[in-house]
């Protein structure tokens, strides 16, 4: 796995100039993956609502749950085929509408950071669980792995 990761690092462009760019790049790729083959039927995107639950972020990462949710929300809304995206609503406010989905994002750092000559990369795994708001047993999962440039994120050492 380390060889594959290092091979991928060789083709990296320069580091993002702001922490927001680093996080938005991660969110953009996640939005592309999520909307590439969504669980709702084709043609229903216009009526679909995604409710963002508070993200779960590994304590080893200098990213807050709110910042990750904001970046994911912006990335999803920027896509032409995007459904409506709202911040998490309390469970009592959810209706029986079959077009509402809850999105739980989990960002974990399961491996130690890789220290390169010009930056430090943190391997990560991002997982989405998308569930019908009215039926939690009806869910869809998506995950991706990569490496975050820790020096370009808020709280960089």
Give tens-digit pLDDT for 72-115. 999 999 988 888 888 775 555 555 566 888 899 999 998 899 99
The pLDDT value given to residue 90? 59
130 in Cβ contact with 136 (< 8 Å) = no
The pLDDT value given to residue 136? 66
Residue 142: name the closest of 84, 47, 78, 76 by CA. Answer: 76
151 in Cβ contact with 119 (< 8 Å) = yes
5 in Cβ contact with 114 (< 8 Å) = yes
Gyration radius of the chain's alpha carbons: 17
- pLDDT for 107-138, tens place per residue? 999 889 999 998 888 899 999 888 886 776 77
Residue 153: name the closest of 33, 38, 18 by CA. Answer: 18
Cα 63 to Cα 30: distance, rounded to the nearest angstrom: 16
Q: Which domains does the chain have, with CATH numbers?
A: 16-36+45-91+98-152 (3.40.50)
The whole-model pTM stands at 0.75
CB-count exposure of residue 105 (10 Å: 0-12, 13-18, 19+): buried
- pLDDT for 16-68, tens place per residue? 445 566 678 888 888 888 888 788 777 777 788 889 999 999 988 888 889 89
pLDDT-based confidence at residue 148 (cuts at 50, 70, 90): confident
């Amino acid at each position: 796995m380390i060889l594959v990761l290092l091979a991928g690092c060789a083709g990296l462009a320069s580091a993002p100039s702001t922490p927001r760019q680093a996080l938005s790049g991660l969110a953009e790729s996640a939005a592309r993956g999520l909307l590439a083959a969504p669980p709702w039927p084709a043609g229903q995107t216009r009526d679909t609502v995604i409710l963002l639950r508070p993200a779960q972020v590994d304590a080893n990462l200098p990213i807050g749950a709110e910042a990750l949710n904001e970046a994911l929300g912006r990335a999803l809304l920027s896509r032409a085929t995007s459904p409506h995206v709202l911040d998490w609503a309390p469970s009592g406010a959810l209706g029986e509408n079959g077009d509402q989905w809850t999105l739980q994002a989990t960002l974990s750092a399961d491996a130690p950071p890789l220290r390169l000559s010009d930056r430090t990369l943190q391997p990560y795994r991002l997982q989405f669980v998308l569930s019908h708001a009215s039926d939690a047993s009806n869910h869809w999962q998506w995950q991706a792995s990569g490496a975050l440039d820790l020096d370009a994120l808020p709280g960089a050492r």
